[in-house]
Amino acid sequence: MRTIAIVALAAAGLSLAACSRGEQNNAQADANAAGAELKSESAEAANEIGSAASNLAADFQEGAKDAAAEVSSAADAIGSDPDVREAGAALGEAAKDGGRAIGQAATAAVDAARNREKADANTAEPKT
């Protein structure tokens, strides 16, 4: 489109410089026509670009909705799977058992430290 406009304007400029008044008017009319055509084609191209962008956005939105629906469906299927529920329950029990074991080990360590402290106090020489 630019090429058409540049050629038309260059032709008009050369024509104006080397031609009679009538030819100059014809050249000016040709340049004006080329400018109008360029303007029309630019508007048409802008409309096509806008339409393509709208279509792309709609396609993207539809794809995102489809993907979200698939993820939701998969999450529902996983959540209702008996094996997954059983594994979750087993994991919860294992966490409780682990917590109890840690608590018992901590209590035993504290008791052992107190007993050692008492034993050390009983075997120490009396202070004078």
* Residue 51 clears pLDDT 60, i.e. is over it: yes
Q: What's the pLDDT at 47?
A: 85
Q: Which residues of 92-119 are buried (b: 16+ CB within 10 A; e: fewer)?
A: eeeeeeeeeeeeeeeeeeeeeeeeeeee
Q: What's the pLDDT at 96?
A: 92
Which residue did the predictor score with more confidence, 20 or 54? 54
Contact between residue 4 and residue 34 where contact means Cβ atoms under 8 Å apart: yes
Chain segment 2-14, per-residue pLDDT in tens: 676 666 666 666 6
User: Using 50, 70 and 90 to split pLDDT, how confident is the model at 115?
Assistant: confident
Q: What's the pLDDT at 84?
A: 85
AA identity, residue 71: V
Q: Tell me the domain boundaries of the chain.
A: 1-80, 82-122
Closest CA to 73 of 65, 83, 63: 65
pTM of this structure? 0.40
Chain segment 98-113, per-residue pLDDT in tens: 999 999 999 999 999 8
